[in-house]
Chains A and B, each alone.
Chain A
């Protein structure tokens, strides 16, 4: 398996633009997680899905953030409109119920 695949690896965008981050989990994993990492706040869980259904989105900062999982092999995290304070590394991870997480390589987002 190729592991968890995220795209793009780097994204630079202007304030106010829409940003879409993509994730392909490991086949057979039924949980998918979106995390954000910043120097100030460390690794924070934004939202997670079980069998494509959002279970806990309490970490989503505000309405500008949305996440979808239309099928078992694909998820998106969208920010609209983006702001400079959204600059961070966004990680996607997947797991099977009783096993550990596997993280993707992350997307480094810079909003200028």
Chain B
């Protein structure tokens, strides 16, 4: 089955900094999503982005499907951005999402 790898595993930044999170996947995908798991454990859907670029406020994401990677950009980080960011992909005709191990982001004031 498809493999999803995220980097870095941990990232510690000061408030106001910018960050880039990476997701690599092993095969062609027909669904790529980014989630934020906040400190209360909720999984929040950030982007559904099988290809191309999308932006939502300070966050943006780019997926280059032909090269099998996706990037999540966070600009002007805030302490509320802290948590774990997951990338998940769905391969071929299957419906199940396979998750990476996540990037734990800590934004210090």
Contact = CB atoms under 8 A, between A and B. Distances in A.
B42 A55 contact: no
A48 B95 contact: yes
B92 to A, nearest CB: 13
Interface stretch (A63-71, A79-87, A101-109): A101-109
B63 interface: no
A108 B41 contact: yes
A42 B48 contact: no
Interface size class of A (residues with CB under 8 A): 20 to 34
Contacts of B101: 42
A101 B99 contact: no
Interface residues of B, number: 17
Interface in A11-70: 31, 33, 42-43, 45, 48, 50, 55-56
Contacts of A102: 45
Interface in A89-112: 89, 91, 95, 97-103, 105-106, 108
A71 B95 CA distance: 20
Given A43-B86, A108-B41, A100 B96 contact: no
B41 A43 contact: no
9 contacts: A43-B86, A43-B88, A56-B96, A100-B45, A101-B33, A101-B45, A101-B88, A102-B45, A108-B41
Interface of B: 31, 33, 35, 41-43, 45, 48, 86, 88, 95-99, 101-102
Interface of A: 31, 33, 42-43, 45, 48, 50, 55-56, 89, 91, 95, 97-103, 105-106, 108
